[in-house]
Amino acid sequence: MIRPSIALVKLVEQIRKGQCVLFLGAGIHASSTNPKFVYADEERPLQAAKLAMELVAGTNYKSLLPRASDEDLQKAAAFAEALSGREHLLTSLALHLQRGSPSPALRMLARMPFCIFVTTNYDNMLEQALLAENKKPTKLVYDPNLEWTPDAEEDPTSRSPLVFKMHGDLEQPRSIVITDDDYITFVQKMSYLGGPSFPIPLTVRYRLGRWPTLFIGYSLQDFNLRLLLRSRDLANTLMCCSVDPSPDPLIRHLWEDVRRMIRFLEYDLWDFIPWLYQEVCGQDYHP
């Protein structure tokens, strides 16, 4: 059961006005834990652990790296790239991720009046969900090979939202951030705050400094997200909420108690998103 705190009430108000930046991680594709909604495994893109094992299936990965975690996607991807090349790695990613369909949870979020979506997912499920709602998203994709970061030509609206693919897009293979080297390049660009090669579009950066932020599908152990929060203008005066039923105790202490930059909402996304939809839209979700 969702307990509507003062912070949640304020967050709902901002979402209704279209003034909230929504960050979506791979967890948005998690299987349903709510009996009201069905999201079968065959409809879901692979999650990190299964994807990592698929990338190195049939290789000597485990014998060469016996201490490697089965969930270490970055290391598995780097191994696959070293063994078979970058093109083979990206083809394998597309094979395992461009499958299925958007979940009911993602469709609910797509129906709500968010103007800016930021996602670290490589797939196009979010775009599919928005198009199904007759919205016209503008997609911007991080590209490590560009010396400047493209921006939206017009201010985004709830009917024409901006979708920023922060770690790349399968339709633009050279944009993918998945190996350690890819992440190092991304972090290097994140250090160019205010410069033309800073990897976050200006429109997104501007709104991050003026609107609250909602994270769904993340554990916030991703250092890229924490680096982004540290570089964000006025971050300590704005509301950031992360939906996470089991936040890491240390990360929670540092970011909620010490830095006071994030409020953790300890709810399963399959309970939280239907509640949020009802609060924002004034009715229960019907496909």
Q: What is the pLDDT of residue 251?
A: 87
Measured from the Cβ of residue 64, the count of other Cβ atoms closer than 10 Å reads 10
Among the residue ranges 3-12, 107-116, 123-132, the one predicted with the least confidence is 3-12
Band of pLDDT at residue 236, cut at 50, 70 and 90:
very low
Please tell me the pTM assigned to this model: 0.93
Higher pLDDT: 9 or 223? It is 9
Domains and CATH numbers, the chain: 6-37+103-281 (3.40.50.1220), 46-97 (no CATH)
Higher pLDDT: 195 or 200? It is 200
Higher pLDDT: 231 or 194? It is 194
pLDDT digits (tens, 9 = 90+) for 133-170: 999 999 999 999 888 888 998 999 999 999 999 999 99
